[in-house]
Structure 1
Amino acid sequence: MYICVDNIEGGIINKKDIIEWVVFLLVLFLVWSHVNVVVSNSMYPIMKRGDLVVVKNAYFEFDPNNLNVGDIVVYNAHWPLYQYNEIKGTISIDNKSFLVFGGEKTRPVIHRIIGKLNIDNKTYYIIKGDNNPTYDPELVSSSQIRQKAITINGKPLVIPYIGYLSIWLKSHVYLVIILLIILYLYDHFRAKDKEEKK
Protein backbone atom coordinates (compact mmCIF):
# COMPACT_ATOMS: atom_id res chain seq x y z
CA MET A 1 0.00 0.00 0.00
CA TYR A 2 1.35 3.43 -0.97
CA ILE A 3 0.54 6.88 0.30
CA CYS A 4 0.75 9.29 -2.61
CA VAL A 5 3.03 12.02 -1.32
CA ASP A 6 5.43 13.58 -3.80
CA ASN A 7 8.94 14.04 -2.46
CA ILE A 8 11.65 16.35 -3.79
CA GLU A 9 12.88 13.71 -6.23
CA GLY A 10 9.37 13.39 -7.70
CA GLY A 11 8.86 9.82 -6.41
CA ILE A 12 6.46 8.34 -3.90
CA ILE A 13 6.95 7.87 -0.16
CA ASN A 14 5.49 4.55 0.98
CA LYS A 15 3.89 3.70 4.31
CA LYS A 16 6.96 1.70 5.41
CA ASP A 17 9.20 4.78 5.03
CA ILE A 18 6.83 6.86 7.15
CA ILE A 19 6.70 4.18 9.88
CA GLU A 20 10.51 3.90 9.89
CA TRP A 21 10.85 7.68 10.33
CA VAL A 22 8.26 7.73 13.14
CA VAL A 23 10.03 4.87 14.95
CA PHE A 24 13.42 6.57 14.46
CA LEU A 25 12.12 9.87 15.88
CA LEU A 26 10.47 8.12 18.87
CA VAL A 27 13.68 6.23 19.69
CA LEU A 28 15.71 9.44 19.31
CA PHE A 29 13.30 11.27 21.66
CA LEU A 30 13.40 8.47 24.25
CA VAL A 31 17.21 8.32 24.18
CA TRP A 32 17.64 12.11 24.26
CA SER A 33 15.17 12.48 27.16
CA HIS A 34 17.36 10.09 29.20
CA VAL A 35 20.66 11.92 28.89
CA ASN A 36 21.90 15.26 30.20
CA VAL A 37 24.86 17.19 28.79
CA VAL A 38 27.34 18.45 31.40
CA VAL A 39 28.29 22.05 30.52
CA SER A 40 30.70 22.87 33.37
CA ASN A 41 33.24 21.22 35.66
CA SER A 42 31.24 21.87 38.85
CA MET A 43 30.89 18.08 39.41
CA TYR A 44 34.52 17.22 38.61
CA PRO A 45 36.01 14.59 38.89
CA ILE A 46 32.95 12.30 38.59
CA MET A 47 31.72 14.18 35.51
CA LYS A 48 33.31 16.79 33.29
CA ARG A 49 32.21 19.38 30.74
CA GLY A 50 31.20 17.55 27.56
CA ASP A 51 30.13 14.33 29.30
CA LEU A 52 26.68 12.80 28.85
CA VAL A 53 25.00 11.60 32.04
CA VAL A 54 22.27 8.94 31.81
CA VAL A 55 19.21 10.06 33.80
CA LYS A 56 15.67 9.15 34.88
CA ASN A 57 12.81 11.63 34.45
CA ALA A 58 10.87 13.10 37.38
CA TYR A 59 7.27 11.94 37.99
CA PHE A 60 7.45 9.28 35.24
CA GLU A 61 10.36 7.29 36.67
CA PHE A 62 10.86 8.62 40.20
CA ASP A 63 9.13 10.82 42.77
CA PRO A 64 11.07 14.09 43.27
CA ASN A 65 9.74 14.27 46.86
CA ASN A 66 11.54 11.03 47.77
CA LEU A 67 15.14 11.80 46.91
CA ASN A 68 18.03 11.22 49.31
CA VAL A 69 21.16 13.07 50.34
CA GLY A 70 23.86 12.00 47.88
CA ASP A 71 21.55 11.76 44.86
CA ILE A 72 22.69 13.70 41.78
CA VAL A 73 19.83 15.62 40.18
CA VAL A 74 19.10 18.01 37.34
CA TYR A 75 16.96 20.93 38.48
CA ASN A 76 15.59 24.19 37.09
CA ALA A 77 17.88 26.75 38.73
CA HIS A 78 17.00 30.44 38.91
CA TRP A 79 20.39 31.63 40.15
CA PRO A 80 22.38 31.24 36.88
CA LEU A 81 19.94 33.75 35.33
CA TYR A 82 19.68 36.01 38.37
CA GLN A 83 19.69 39.12 36.17
CA TYR A 84 16.32 38.05 34.70
CA ASN A 85 14.72 36.94 37.98
CA GLU A 86 13.67 39.19 40.83
CA ILE A 87 15.38 38.43 44.14
CA LYS A 88 12.55 38.66 46.66
CA GLY A 89 14.72 38.19 49.73
CA THR A 90 16.74 35.64 51.65
CA ILE A 91 15.95 32.77 53.96
CA SER A 92 18.28 31.32 56.61
CA ILE A 93 18.12 27.65 57.59
CA ASP A 94 20.70 25.72 59.64
CA ASN A 95 23.21 28.62 59.41
CA LYS A 96 22.87 28.66 55.62
CA SER A 97 21.44 31.59 53.65
CA PHE A 98 19.46 31.12 50.45
CA LEU A 99 18.09 33.58 47.92
CA VAL A 100 14.35 33.57 47.23
CA PHE A 101 13.65 34.20 43.55
CA GLY A 102 10.60 35.45 41.72
CA GLY A 103 10.43 34.89 37.98
CA GLU A 104 10.31 32.00 35.57
CA LYS A 105 13.74 32.12 33.87
CA THR A 106 15.71 28.98 34.72
CA ARG A 107 18.63 26.94 33.47
CA PRO A 108 19.16 23.21 34.11
CA VAL A 109 21.93 22.47 36.63
CA ILE A 110 23.22 19.00 37.54
CA HIS A 111 24.48 18.90 41.15
CA ARG A 112 24.32 16.68 44.25
CA ILE A 113 21.78 16.84 47.10
CA ILE A 114 23.57 17.59 50.38
CA GLY A 115 20.52 18.30 52.55
CA LYS A 116 16.77 17.62 52.64
CA LEU A 117 14.17 19.72 54.47
CA ASN A 118 10.43 19.65 55.06
CA ILE A 119 8.90 23.13 55.33
CA ASP A 120 5.12 23.50 55.64
CA ASN A 121 4.67 19.92 54.35
CA LYS A 122 6.74 20.66 51.22
CA THR A 123 10.07 19.03 50.35
CA TYR A 124 13.12 21.22 49.69
CA TYR A 125 16.72 20.33 48.93
CA ILE A 126 20.11 21.90 49.56
CA ILE A 127 22.21 21.19 46.49
CA LYS A 128 25.91 21.62 45.69
CA GLY A 129 28.37 20.88 42.90
CA ASP A 130 31.06 18.48 44.16
CA ASN A 131 33.79 20.78 42.81
CA ASN A 132 32.19 24.02 44.08
CA PRO A 133 33.37 25.64 47.33
CA THR A 134 29.81 26.23 48.62
CA TYR A 135 26.21 25.10 48.17
CA ASP A 136 23.94 26.50 45.44
CA PRO A 137 22.40 29.85 46.42
CA GLU A 138 18.75 28.78 46.26
CA LEU A 139 16.72 26.31 48.27
CA VAL A 140 15.36 23.90 45.66
CA SER A 141 11.74 22.73 45.80
CA SER A 142 10.83 19.22 44.65
CA SER A 143 8.86 20.77 41.76
CA GLN A 144 12.13 22.16 40.34
CA ILE A 145 13.68 18.67 40.05
CA ARG A 146 13.64 17.40 36.45
CA GLN A 147 15.90 14.37 36.40
CA LYS A 148 18.02 12.09 38.57
CA ALA A 149 21.34 10.54 37.51
CA ILE A 150 21.31 6.76 37.16
CA THR A 151 24.09 5.29 39.28
CA ILE A 152 25.93 1.96 39.26
CA ASN A 153 27.70 1.08 42.51
CA GLY A 154 27.19 4.67 43.67
CA LYS A 155 28.76 6.27 40.57
CA PRO A 156 26.74 8.10 37.91
CA LEU A 157 26.49 6.45 34.50
CA VAL A 158 28.58 8.81 32.35
CA ILE A 159 29.43 8.69 28.64
CA PRO A 160 32.55 10.87 28.22
CA TYR A 161 33.00 13.61 25.59
CA ILE A 162 29.84 12.89 23.51
CA GLY A 163 28.10 15.97 24.93
CA TYR A 164 30.60 18.27 23.22
CA LEU A 165 28.61 17.83 20.00
CA SER A 166 25.49 19.27 21.69
CA ILE A 167 27.51 22.10 23.28
CA TRP A 168 29.04 22.97 19.90
CA LEU A 169 25.67 22.86 18.10
CA LYS A 170 24.07 25.18 20.68
CA SER A 171 26.88 27.71 20.42
CA HIS A 172 26.94 27.56 16.60
CA VAL A 173 23.23 27.12 15.86
CA TYR A 174 23.32 29.82 13.17
CA LEU A 175 25.93 27.80 11.20
CA VAL A 176 23.76 24.69 11.43
CA ILE A 177 20.73 26.62 10.13
CA ILE A 178 22.76 28.09 7.23
CA LEU A 179 24.10 24.62 6.36
CA LEU A 180 20.58 23.12 6.38
CA ILE A 181 19.32 25.92 4.10
CA ILE A 182 22.23 25.36 1.68
CA LEU A 183 21.56 21.59 1.63
CA TYR A 184 17.85 22.16 1.02
CA LEU A 185 18.52 24.61 -1.83
CA TYR A 186 21.10 22.26 -3.37
CA ASP A 187 18.63 19.32 -3.33
CA HIS A 188 15.82 21.53 -4.61
CA PHE A 189 17.79 22.88 -7.60
CA ARG A 190 19.29 19.46 -8.36
CA ALA A 191 15.79 17.93 -8.47
CA LYS A 192 14.55 20.81 -10.65
CA ASP A 193 17.49 20.35 -13.01
CA LYS A 194 16.72 16.60 -13.32
CA GLU A 195 13.07 17.41 -14.10
CA GLU A 196 14.05 19.83 -16.85
CA LYS A 197 16.34 17.25 -18.46
CA LYS A 198 13.50 14.71 -18.77
Structure 2
Amino acid sequence: MSAGDSRPPSDSSESSGGGATSTSAERDDDDVSIGVTDRFLHDDDGPFMFLREVLSSAGIVVAVGVLLFAIAGVWPPMVAVESGSMEPHMQKGDLILITEPGRFAPDAGDDSGVVTYAEGEDADYRSLGSYGSVVVYDNPNAAGPPIIHRAMFRVEAGENWYDRANPDYITAENCEELEFCPAPYDAYITKGDNNPTYDQTSTISAPVKEEWITGVARIRVPYLGWIRLAFATTAPASTNGAPPTAPTAPTLDFAPTSELPAAERLSPTDVPPKPLAATPA
Protein backbone atom coordinates (compact mmCIF):
# COMPACT_ATOMS: atom_id res chain seq x y z
CA MET A 1 0.00 0.00 0.00
CA SER A 2 1.45 3.44 -0.90
CA ALA A 3 2.07 6.08 1.72
CA GLY A 4 -0.90 8.12 0.54
CA ASP A 5 -3.34 5.21 0.44
CA SER A 6 -5.79 5.47 3.32
CA ARG A 7 -7.80 2.31 2.58
CA PRO A 8 -8.09 -0.18 5.46
CA PRO A 9 -6.02 -3.31 5.23
CA SER A 10 -7.65 -6.12 3.25
CA ASP A 11 -9.20 -9.03 5.18
CA SER A 12 -8.89 -11.37 2.20
CA SER A 13 -6.56 -13.60 4.13
CA GLU A 14 -9.19 -14.10 6.82
CA SER A 15 -11.89 -14.75 4.21
CA SER A 16 -9.74 -17.25 2.41
CA GLY A 17 -8.89 -18.89 5.70
CA GLY A 18 -12.58 -19.13 6.62
CA GLY A 19 -13.38 -20.48 3.18
CA ALA A 20 -10.73 -23.13 3.57
CA THR A 21 -12.23 -24.22 6.89
CA SER A 22 -15.75 -24.46 5.37
CA THR A 23 -14.50 -26.48 2.40
CA SER A 24 -12.67 -28.85 4.71
CA ALA A 25 -15.88 -29.51 6.74
CA GLU A 26 -17.84 -30.21 3.57
CA ARG A 27 -15.13 -32.59 2.42
CA ASP A 28 -15.28 -34.43 5.73
CA ASP A 29 -19.08 -34.81 5.39
CA ASP A 30 -18.64 -36.16 1.87
CA ASP A 31 -16.05 -38.66 3.10
CA VAL A 32 -18.43 -39.90 5.81
CA SER A 33 -21.25 -40.24 3.29
CA ILE A 34 -19.06 -42.14 0.86
CA GLY A 35 -17.85 -44.35 3.70
CA VAL A 36 -21.37 -45.31 4.77
CA THR A 37 -22.43 -46.02 1.18
CA ASP A 38 -19.32 -48.09 0.55
CA ARG A 39 -19.91 -50.13 3.71
CA PHE A 40 -23.56 -50.66 2.81
CA LEU A 41 -22.61 -51.95 -0.63
CA HIS A 42 -19.54 -54.00 0.24
CA ASP A 43 -19.52 -55.12 3.91
CA ASP A 44 -19.50 -58.90 4.24
CA ASP A 45 -20.82 -58.92 7.80
CA GLY A 46 -22.28 -56.60 10.41
CA PRO A 47 -25.35 -54.35 10.39
CA PHE A 48 -24.75 -52.89 6.92
CA MET A 49 -24.63 -56.34 5.33
CA PHE A 50 -27.78 -57.40 7.23
CA LEU A 51 -29.66 -54.27 6.15
CA ARG A 52 -28.55 -54.75 2.54
CA GLU A 53 -29.77 -58.35 2.49
CA VAL A 54 -33.12 -57.47 4.04
CA LEU A 55 -33.76 -54.65 1.58
CA SER A 56 -32.68 -56.69 -1.44
CA SER A 57 -34.91 -59.61 -0.41
CA ALA A 58 -37.87 -57.29 0.12
CA GLY A 59 -37.20 -55.72 -3.27
CA ILE A 60 -37.22 -59.13 -4.98
CA VAL A 61 -40.50 -60.08 -3.30
CA VAL A 62 -42.12 -56.80 -4.34
CA ALA A 63 -40.83 -57.16 -7.91
CA VAL A 64 -42.16 -60.73 -8.20
CA GLY A 65 -45.52 -59.63 -6.76
CA VAL A 66 -45.81 -56.74 -9.20
CA LEU A 67 -44.89 -59.04 -12.11
CA LEU A 68 -47.45 -61.67 -11.12
CA PHE A 69 -50.14 -59.04 -10.68
CA ALA A 70 -49.32 -57.59 -14.11
CA ILE A 71 -49.70 -61.07 -15.64
CA ALA A 72 -52.73 -62.23 -13.66
CA GLY A 73 -54.67 -58.99 -13.33
CA VAL A 74 -56.01 -60.13 -9.94
CA TRP A 75 -54.73 -60.08 -6.37
CA PRO A 76 -53.73 -62.42 -4.92
CA PRO A 77 -52.56 -64.19 -8.09
CA MET A 78 -51.99 -67.50 -6.26
CA VAL A 79 -54.10 -69.54 -3.90
CA ALA A 80 -53.41 -72.64 -1.82
CA VAL A 81 -55.91 -75.49 -1.94
CA GLU A 82 -57.27 -76.40 1.50
CA SER A 83 -59.54 -79.39 0.88
CA GLY A 84 -60.19 -82.34 -1.37
CA SER A 85 -63.37 -81.31 -3.22
CA MET A 86 -61.47 -80.86 -6.52
CA GLU A 87 -59.51 -84.12 -6.39
CA PRO A 88 -57.97 -85.73 -8.30
CA HIS A 89 -57.30 -82.64 -10.41
CA MET A 90 -56.36 -80.46 -7.44
CA GLN A 91 -54.92 -81.79 -4.22
CA LYS A 92 -54.84 -80.25 -0.78
CA GLY A 93 -51.59 -78.29 -0.53
CA ASP A 94 -51.42 -77.42 -4.24
CA LEU A 95 -50.63 -73.84 -5.22
CA ILE A 96 -52.89 -72.53 -8.00
CA LEU A 97 -52.09 -69.58 -10.27
CA ILE A 98 -55.26 -67.69 -11.16
CA THR A 99 -55.96 -64.85 -13.57
CA GLU A 100 -58.72 -62.34 -14.16
CA PRO A 101 -61.36 -64.26 -16.16
CA GLY A 102 -60.84 -62.35 -19.41
CA ARG A 103 -57.08 -62.89 -19.54
CA PHE A 104 -55.77 -65.76 -21.66
CA ALA A 105 -59.39 -66.76 -22.33
CA PRO A 106 -59.83 -69.53 -24.92
CA ASP A 107 -62.01 -69.20 -28.00
CA ALA A 108 -64.58 -71.54 -26.49
CA GLY A 109 -67.22 -69.88 -24.33
CA ASP A 110 -68.28 -66.24 -24.47
CA ASP A 111 -66.88 -62.81 -23.63
CA SER A 112 -66.90 -63.56 -19.89
CA GLY A 113 -63.74 -65.64 -20.28
CA VAL A 114 -65.41 -68.57 -18.48
CA VAL A 115 -65.91 -71.83 -20.38
CA THR A 116 -68.48 -74.17 -18.85
CA TYR A 117 -68.11 -77.94 -18.76
CA ALA A 118 -70.87 -78.22 -21.36
CA GLU A 119 -69.15 -75.72 -23.69
CA GLY A 120 -65.75 -77.30 -23.11
CA GLU A 121 -67.11 -80.71 -24.00
CA ASP A 122 -68.50 -79.37 -27.28
CA ALA A 123 -65.28 -77.51 -28.16
CA ASP A 124 -62.92 -80.11 -26.67
CA TYR A 125 -61.49 -77.50 -24.28
CA ARG A 126 -59.97 -78.88 -21.07
CA SER A 127 -58.60 -77.15 -18.01
CA LEU A 128 -56.97 -78.78 -14.99
CA GLY A 129 -57.98 -82.30 -15.85
CA SER A 130 -61.51 -81.92 -17.21
CA TYR A 131 -63.76 -79.91 -19.51
CA GLY A 132 -64.43 -76.25 -18.83
CA SER A 133 -62.99 -73.58 -16.53
CA VAL A 134 -62.26 -73.88 -12.84
CA VAL A 135 -63.42 -70.59 -11.33
CA VAL A 136 -62.91 -68.80 -8.05
CA TYR A 137 -66.16 -67.23 -6.87
CA ASP A 138 -67.20 -65.28 -3.80
CA ASN A 139 -70.88 -65.25 -2.91
CA PRO A 140 -71.42 -61.99 -0.96
CA ASN A 141 -74.52 -63.45 0.68
CA ALA A 142 -72.71 -66.46 2.15
CA ALA A 143 -70.32 -66.64 5.06
CA GLY A 144 -66.80 -67.92 4.57
CA PRO A 145 -64.05 -67.48 2.01
CA PRO A 146 -64.34 -67.73 -1.78
CA ILE A 147 -64.67 -71.14 -3.45
CA ILE A 148 -62.79 -72.74 -6.34
CA HIS A 149 -64.99 -75.14 -8.34
CA ARG A 150 -65.71 -75.98 -11.97
CA ALA A 151 -68.33 -74.06 -13.96
CA MET A 152 -70.72 -76.74 -15.27
CA PHE A 153 -73.31 -74.84 -17.34
CA ARG A 154 -75.06 -71.48 -17.60
CA VAL A 155 -78.68 -70.81 -16.71
CA GLU A 156 -80.90 -67.86 -17.57
CA ALA A 157 -83.33 -66.09 -15.26
CA GLY A 158 -86.55 -68.08 -15.01
CA GLU A 159 -85.07 -71.16 -16.73
CA ASN A 160 -86.15 -74.65 -15.69
CA TRP A 161 -82.70 -76.23 -15.71
CA TYR A 162 -83.68 -79.54 -14.18
CA ASP A 163 -83.64 -81.36 -17.53
CA ARG A 164 -80.19 -79.97 -18.39
CA ALA A 165 -78.66 -81.17 -15.15
CA ASN A 166 -76.80 -84.45 -14.90
CA PRO A 167 -79.15 -86.72 -12.92
CA ASP A 168 -76.14 -88.16 -11.09
CA TYR A 169 -75.49 -84.74 -9.49
CA ILE A 170 -78.98 -83.96 -8.19
CA THR A 171 -81.31 -85.68 -5.73
CA ALA A 172 -84.58 -84.00 -6.75
CA GLU A 173 -87.30 -85.56 -8.88
CA ASN A 174 -88.30 -82.35 -10.61
CA CYS A 175 -87.61 -78.60 -10.82
CA GLU A 176 -89.99 -77.80 -7.96
CA GLU A 177 -87.85 -79.86 -5.60
CA LEU A 178 -84.73 -77.88 -6.46
CA GLU A 179 -84.19 -74.77 -4.33
CA PHE A 180 -82.93 -72.64 -7.22
CA CYS A 181 -85.15 -73.94 -10.00
CA PRO A 182 -86.39 -72.08 -11.98
CA ALA A 183 -83.18 -70.03 -11.97
CA PRO A 184 -83.61 -66.77 -10.04
CA TYR A 185 -81.23 -64.87 -12.36
CA ASP A 186 -78.60 -65.40 -15.08
CA ALA A 187 -75.82 -67.43 -13.49
CA TYR A 188 -73.54 -70.49 -13.50
CA ILE A 189 -74.17 -73.90 -11.98
CA THR A 190 -70.92 -75.09 -10.37
CA LYS A 191 -69.51 -78.26 -8.83
CA GLY A 192 -66.41 -79.62 -7.15
CA ASP A 193 -64.91 -82.41 -9.27
CA ASN A 194 -64.88 -84.74 -6.26
CA ASN A 195 -68.28 -83.75 -4.89
CA PRO A 196 -71.39 -85.88 -5.49
CA THR A 197 -73.76 -82.98 -6.29
CA TYR A 198 -73.82 -79.47 -7.72
CA ASP A 199 -73.05 -76.60 -5.35
CA GLN A 200 -76.56 -75.31 -5.98
CA THR A 201 -78.25 -78.56 -4.89
CA SER A 202 -76.33 -78.60 -1.62
CA THR A 203 -75.65 -75.92 0.97
CA ILE A 204 -72.55 -74.55 -0.76
CA SER A 205 -73.90 -71.69 -2.87
CA ALA A 206 -76.75 -70.16 -4.82
CA PRO A 207 -76.28 -70.00 -8.62
CA VAL A 208 -73.06 -68.09 -9.25
CA LYS A 209 -73.47 -64.65 -10.81
CA GLU A 210 -70.81 -63.57 -13.28
CA GLU A 211 -69.78 -60.67 -11.05
CA TRP A 212 -69.06 -63.09 -8.18
CA ILE A 213 -66.28 -64.72 -10.20
CA THR A 214 -62.95 -63.21 -9.16
CA GLY A 215 -60.58 -65.44 -11.10
CA VAL A 216 -60.02 -68.50 -13.27
CA ALA A 217 -57.50 -71.20 -12.34
CA ARG A 218 -54.73 -71.61 -14.90
CA ILE A 219 -51.74 -73.50 -13.47
CA ARG A 220 -51.35 -76.02 -10.63
CA VAL A 221 -48.09 -76.34 -8.70
CA PRO A 222 -48.09 -79.38 -6.37
CA TYR A 223 -47.08 -79.08 -2.69
CA LEU A 224 -46.07 -75.40 -2.59
CA GLY A 225 -49.40 -74.45 -1.04
CA TRP A 226 -48.50 -76.32 2.16
CA ILE A 227 -46.23 -73.42 3.13
CA ARG A 228 -49.13 -71.01 3.02
CA LEU A 229 -51.44 -73.43 4.79
CA ALA A 230 -48.90 -73.88 7.58
CA PHE A 231 -48.95 -70.14 8.26
CA ALA A 232 -52.73 -70.02 7.99
CA THR A 233 -53.27 -72.66 10.67
CA THR A 234 -51.52 -70.43 13.21
CA ALA A 235 -53.36 -67.23 12.19
CA PRO A 236 -56.22 -65.90 14.35
CA ALA A 237 -59.75 -66.47 13.11
CA SER A 238 -61.16 -63.68 10.95
CA THR A 239 -64.63 -62.27 11.51
CA ASN A 240 -64.93 -60.24 8.33
CA GLY A 241 -65.27 -63.05 5.81
CA ALA A 242 -61.71 -62.80 4.54
CA PRO A 243 -60.36 -65.96 2.90
CA PRO A 244 -58.77 -68.47 5.23
CA THR A 245 -55.32 -68.38 3.84
CA ALA A 246 -55.07 -64.69 3.53
CA PRO A 247 -52.66 -63.25 6.07
CA THR A 248 -55.23 -63.03 8.87
CA ALA A 249 -57.64 -65.84 8.03
CA PRO A 250 -57.68 -69.46 9.22
CA THR A 251 -57.89 -72.36 6.80
CA LEU A 252 -61.08 -74.35 6.27
CA ASP A 253 -60.85 -77.99 5.38
CA PHE A 254 -64.09 -79.79 4.53
CA ALA A 255 -63.72 -83.39 3.40
CA PRO A 256 -66.31 -84.39 0.82
CA THR A 257 -69.05 -86.73 1.96
CA SER A 258 -72.09 -88.24 0.32
CA GLU A 259 -74.34 -86.14 2.55
CA LEU A 260 -72.67 -82.77 2.22
CA PRO A 261 -70.27 -81.87 -0.59
CA ALA A 262 -67.19 -79.95 0.31
CA ALA A 263 -66.23 -76.60 -1.10
CA GLU A 264 -62.65 -76.44 -2.29
CA ARG A 265 -61.13 -73.93 0.05
CA LEU A 266 -58.08 -71.95 -0.97
CA SER A 267 -55.45 -69.93 0.75
CA PRO A 268 -53.68 -66.71 -0.62
CA THR A 269 -49.97 -66.30 -0.09
CA ASP A 270 -48.93 -63.31 1.98
CA VAL A 271 -51.28 -60.79 0.41
CA PRO A 272 -54.19 -58.51 0.97
CA PRO A 273 -57.49 -60.35 1.58
CA LYS A 274 -59.63 -62.12 -0.73
CA PRO A 275 -60.04 -64.46 -3.46
CA LEU A 276 -61.27 -68.07 -2.65
CA ALA A 277 -63.25 -70.99 -1.18
CA ALA A 278 -59.90 -72.09 -1.19
CA THR A 279 -57.17 -70.03 0.38
CA PRO A 280 -55.37 -67.28 -1.55
CA ALA A 281 -51.63 -67.68 -1.49
TM-score range, shorter chain: 0.5 to 0.7
Structure 1 unmatched ranges of 5 or more: 82-105, 151-156, 178-198
Partner of 1:129: 192
- The 1:20–1:49 alpha-carbon spacing in structure 2 relative to 1, beyond 3 Å, is closer
Partner of 2:145: 107
Residue 117 of structure 1, CA deviation = 2.2
- The 1:10–1:68 alpha-carbon spacing in structure 2 relative to 1, beyond 3 Å, is closer
1:24 equivalenced with 2:61 (yes/no): yes
- The 1:20–1:40 alpha-carbon spacing in structure 2 relative to 1, beyond 3 Å, is closer
One of 210, 216, 231 as aligned partner of 1:169: 231
Question: Quick one: which amino acid aligns to residue 117 of structure 1?
Answer: V
Aligned pairs, number: 142
Question: Quick one: which amino acid aligns to residue 143 of structure 1?
Answer: E
Question: Secondary structure of 2:87's match?
Answer: coil
User: Does the Cα contact within 8 Å between 2:102 and 2:112 map onto a contact in 1?
Assistant: no
Structure 1 residues 79-136: Cα deviation after superposition (integer angstroms, max 9, x where no partner): 862xxxxxxxxxxxxxxxxxxxxxxxx411110001112339x741111001001111
Give the TM-score normalised by the residue count of structure 1.
0.56
Partner of 2:84: 41
Question: Secondary structure of 1:49's match?
Answer: coil
Question: Secondary structure of 1:158's match?
Answer: strand
Question: Secondary structure of 1:28's match?
Answer: helix
- Shifted more, 138-147 versus 65-74: the winner is 65-74
User: Does the Cα contact within 8 Å between 2:155 and 2:188 map onto a contact in 1?
Assistant: yes
Residue 36 of structure 1, CA deviation = 1.8
Structure 1 residues 122-161: Cα deviation after superposition (integer angstroms, max 9, x where no partner): 74111100100111131111111011012xxxxxx31111
User: Does the Cα contact within 8 Å between 1:64 and 1:145 map onto a contact in 2?
Assistant: no
Structure 1 residues 167-194: Cα deviation after superposition (integer angstroms, max 9, x where no partner): 11011136x99xxxxxxxxxxxxxxxxx
One of 203, 218, 222 as aligned partner of 1:160: 222
Structure 2 unmatched ranges of 5 or more: 1-32, 41-45, 69-74, 117-131, 159-184, 201-205, 237-246, 249-281
- The whole-number CA distance in structure 1 between the counterparts of 2:92 and 2:211 is 26
- The 1:20–1:133 alpha-carbon spacing in structure 2 relative to 1, beyond 3 Å, is closer
- The whole-number CA distance in structure 1 between the counterparts of 2:55 and 2:229 is 30
Partner of 1:146: 214
Q: How does 1:62-141 map to 2 (within 5 A)?
A: 65-69=112-116, 70-77=132-139, 81=143, 106-119=144-157, 123-137=186-200, 138-141=206-209
- Shifted more, 60-69 versus 41-50: the winner is 60-69
- The whole-number CA distance in structure 2 between the counterparts of 1:115 and 1:54 is 23
- The 1:109–1:173 alpha-carbon spacing in structure 2 relative to 1, beyond 3 Å, is same
Larger relative strand fraction:
1
Residue 65 of structure 1, CA deviation = 2.8
Residue 24 of structure 1, CA deviation = 3.2
- The 1:42–1:78 alpha-carbon spacing in structure 2 relative to 1, beyond 3 Å, is farther
Question: Secondary structure of 1:173's match?
Answer: coil
Q: How does 1:173-184 map to 2 (within 5 A)?
A: 173=235
Residue 66 of structure 1, CA deviation = 3.9
Give the TM-score normalised by the residue count of structure 2.
0.41
Percent same amino acid among aligned pairs? Answer: 27
- The whole-number CA distance in structure 2 between the counterparts of 1:144 and 1:76 is 5
User: Does the Cα contact within 8 Å between 2:102 and 2:113 map onto a contact in 1?
Assistant: no
